[in-house]
A and B are shown apart, each in its own frame.
Chain A
Amino acid sequence: AQKITQTQPGMFVQEKEAVTLDCTYDTSDPSYGLFWYKQPSSGEMIFLIYQGSYDQQNATEGRYSLNFQKARKSANLVISASQLGDSAMYFCACLNTNAGKSTFGDGTTLTVKP
């Protein structure tokens, strides 16, 4: 069974600063994928970034980057230049390639202060 741990229930960051949201995972699947999603108060799940377990380089998507440390089984999300609109809940998820389904962490609520 897979397990995703997000140790930060809530985080605060000043507007325009960078913030790191932690995620560690535990999986026995040799091939897996790591996703980050943003869920604003509207409830919609918004895909942010993806990292494959065999990818050599860390994934980046605009202001989002994924700090992937395979040996430590961590996949932290870094948001640069935070904006007020980044305030939301953020979920880390690990895809079990064999089973074809994902396991989600408990989420981190990020609040960006003006």
Chain B
Amino acid sequence: GAVVSQHPSWVICKSGTSVKIECRSLDFQATTMFWYRQFPKQSLMLMATSNEGSKATYEQGVEKDKFLINHASLTLSTLTVTSAHPEDSSFYICSAKGTGPSVAVTDEQFFGPGTRLTVL
């Protein structure tokens, strides 16, 4: 199947700093990327959906100015957590869907390995 990478896999930062997480589709063109947040033992909560070259669509309750999403190319999307606080500590997962030889099921989402953010 198609591969999505995420970087970094974990990050620890001080309160008030900004953190950028990258999500890359390695062997297919990601027309749509999704960003999720997951607390321990809980489900994935969709934060936003982004289409290449367009502004991200945020889910209700997600602060656009807090979680900046950029999807500048068909292989890269970034999530920037601005002025991070301890309550932003969580597991952030990106996923992508798109087209390419490695995409067998249309609309299948391919997930990155996740980024564990800890804000001190």
Q: Which A residues have a C-beta under 8 Å from some C-beta of B?
A: 33, 35, 37, 42-47, 50, 89, 91, 95, 97, 100-107, 109
Contact = CB atoms under 8 A, between A and B. Distances in A.
Secondary structure type dominating chain A contacts: strand
Contact of B43 (A33, A97, A105): A105
B44 A104 contact: yes
B28 interface: no
Interface of B: 1, 32, 34, 38, 41-44, 46, 49, 91, 93, 95, 97, 105, 107-111, 113-114, 116
Given A44-B114, A100-B49, A101-B49, A91 B34 contact: no
Contact of A104 (B1, B43, B105, B107): B43
Nearest to B36: A104
A101 B49 CA distance: 8
B43 A107 contact: yes
A84 B116 CA distance: 26
B90 to A, nearest CB: 11
B111 A44 contact: yes
Given A104-B44, A106-B43, A43 B108 contact: no
A12 to B, nearest CB: 16
B43 A50 contact: no
Contacts of B41: 89, 107, 109
A89 B41 CA distance: 8
Secondary structure type dominating chain B contacts: strand
Contact of A44 (B42, B44, B113): B113
Contacts of B46: 101-103
Contacts of A100: 32, 49, 97, 107
Looking at B41, B91, B116, which has the most chain A CB atoms within 10 Å of its CB? B41
Looking at A37, A45, A47, A97, which has the most chain B CB atoms within 10 Å of its CB? A45
B95 A45 contact: yes
B114 A43 contact: yes
Contacts of B43: 91, 104-107
Contacts of B108: 35, 47, 50
Contacts of A104: 43-44
